[in-house]
Amino acid sequence: MILRETPLAGAYVVELEPALDERGHFARTFDSEQFAALGLDPRVAQTSTSFSARSGTLRGMHYQADPHGEAKLVRVTRGSVYDVIIDLRRESATFRGWFALELDASGSSSLYVPVGFAHGFQTLSDDAEVNYQMSYPYVPEAARGVRFDDPAFAIEWPAAPLGGRLLSERDRTFADFEF
């Protein structure tokens, strides 16, 4: 497993190093000691999955407010998504910066999202499934978000498919980010 830094401080792309043989392959997808050695939060308090039936579904940009902030390890197990993170840590040199990459079910990469980041994705295929390992349990009262099209971030999303983007009312109506 190789952890590659992204342009956003503390966020990493996790690339697998599969051991191949005639049966297929085997690879580590998480190693608490390797994460801790880089100063990343290795706790796993909860694991969740989301399923989106249609291409163009957009989920996000979500985070949990302190003291319930959560780090996430995001991996796609079916289909593909355009995965996006935003650094919301005011003291960070990369504050308000965003990073995106395509994750797909090949399983060759996942994304480590530090505490203090918003996370979301747009599905690039029908029947997309995303799994999350989170360092802190979900606390409904701490759930927050920023709008996917907030001009404070100017995220460059892929074109929506012919049917347009599918968003929840909650995700569509998050207020503009105040900084």
Q: Catalytic site residues?
A: 62, 132
For the chain, the distance separating the N- and C-terminal CA atoms, rounded to the nearest angstrom, is 37
**Backbone φ, ψ for residue 29 (5° rounding):** -110, -10
CA angle 37, 42, 43 (to 5 degrees): 155
Type of residue numbered 65:
A
Interatomic CA distance for residues 34 and 37, integer angstroms: 5
Degrees to nearest 5, angle at CA 165 with 59 and 98? 50
What is the DSSP secondary structure assignment for residue 94, as one 8-state letter?
T
Q: Which of 177, 14, 7 is nearest to 99 (CA)?
A: 7
User: Are the beta carbons of 84 and 58 closer than 8 angstroms?
Assistant: no
